[in-house]
């Protein structure tokens, strides 16, 4: 019997991380193109649309310009230009900051909230692509993205990560139900990986030591 042909994977020692990162970068291209298309159709730039989305998110309130810039990981100068245009379009308004008489806060107008709903929906194409995956794979994807966001938060690459795995309400693997092993102390409900939140309006950041312990349990207690 002839020996099997050499496989290109036999000597493949490259880690999977760079290939996964490349895949995420390709998805980012799709998201940027979709954001441009949707925002442009509404007479907005993607930055303006993101600002509206941040200020109109569930649980969000009026915020200072510097805090909006930090949340979006853009410069204050870029945010200021976008905000000026949104104020001119009457989608945002400036109001006094009750904590600092010299400062102003940004708040959406009623028209701004309506506009945020129109431009804030996730990419339909990407949603459809993920929905086509088996349910278990969707849950695994959320687990992977949760860990990725956490790592980027710890390295300072993203300023905010309102994900379950960084929240003080998250209790991983406290229930015996394999389909819903986790618990949210805020809503007092069990849930599974497919329900993991990456940007939750009810998020409350856990203290560092507690967050680390929660993450270790989330990883270590996971079924093989």
pLDDT at 49 (0 to 100): 92
pLDDT at 12 (0 to 100): 58
Q: Which two tokens stand for residue 92?
A: 């945002």
Beta strands (DSSP E) in the chain are 92-97, 100-108, 170-171, 182-184, 189-191
Euclidean distance between CA atoms 95 and 104, whole angstroms: 5
pLDDT at 90 (0 to 100): 96
Contact between 166 and 211 (Cβ < 8 Å): yes
Q: Tokens 């996971």 belong to which residue? A: 222
pLDDT at 6 (0 to 100): 64
Low-confidence ranges of the chain (pLDDT < 50): none
Record the pTM. Answer: 0.76
pLDDT at 215 (0 to 100): 95
pLDDT at 124 (0 to 100): 85
Backbone angles phi, psi at 34, to 5 degrees: -65, -40
Give all domains of the chain, ordered by start, each with its CATH number.
19-119 (1.10.10.10), 134-220 (no CATH)
DSSP 8-class letter at 178: T
Three-state secondary structure call for residue 167: strand
Euclidean distance between CA atoms 221 and 224, whole angstroms: 9
Tell me the per-residue pLDDT of 135-173, one tens digit each, with 9 for 90 and over. Answer: 999 999 999 999 999 999 888 888 778 899 999 999 999
């Amino acid at each position: 019997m002839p020996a099997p042909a050499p496989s290109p994977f036999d000597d493949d020692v490259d880690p999977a991380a760079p290939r996964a990162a490349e895949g995420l970068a390709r998805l980012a291209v799709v998201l940027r193109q979709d954001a441009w298309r949707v925002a442009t159709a509404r007479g907005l730039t993607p930055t303006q649309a993101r600002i509206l989305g941040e200020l109109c998110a569930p649980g969000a309130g009026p915020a200072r310009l510097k805090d909006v810039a930090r949340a979006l990981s853009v410069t204050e100068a870029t945010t200021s230009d976008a905000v000026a245009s949104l104020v001119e379009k009457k989608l945002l308004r400036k109001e006094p900051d009750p904590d600092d008489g010299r400062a102003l806060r940004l708040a959406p107008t009623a028209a701004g909230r309506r506009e945020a709903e129109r431009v804030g929906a996730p990419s339909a194409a990407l949603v459809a692509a993920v929905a086509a995956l088996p349910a278990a794979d969707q849950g695994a994807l959320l687990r992977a993205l949760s860990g990725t966001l956490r790592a980027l938060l710890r390295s300072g690459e993203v300023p905010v990560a309102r994900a379950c795995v960084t929240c003080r309400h998250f209790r991983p693997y406290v229930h015996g139900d394999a389909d819903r092993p986790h618990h949210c102390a805020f809503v007092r409900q069990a849930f599974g990986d497919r329900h993991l939140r990456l940007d939750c309006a009810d998020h409350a950041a856990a203290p560092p030591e507690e967050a680390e312990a929660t993450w270790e349990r989330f990883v270590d207690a996971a079924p093989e």
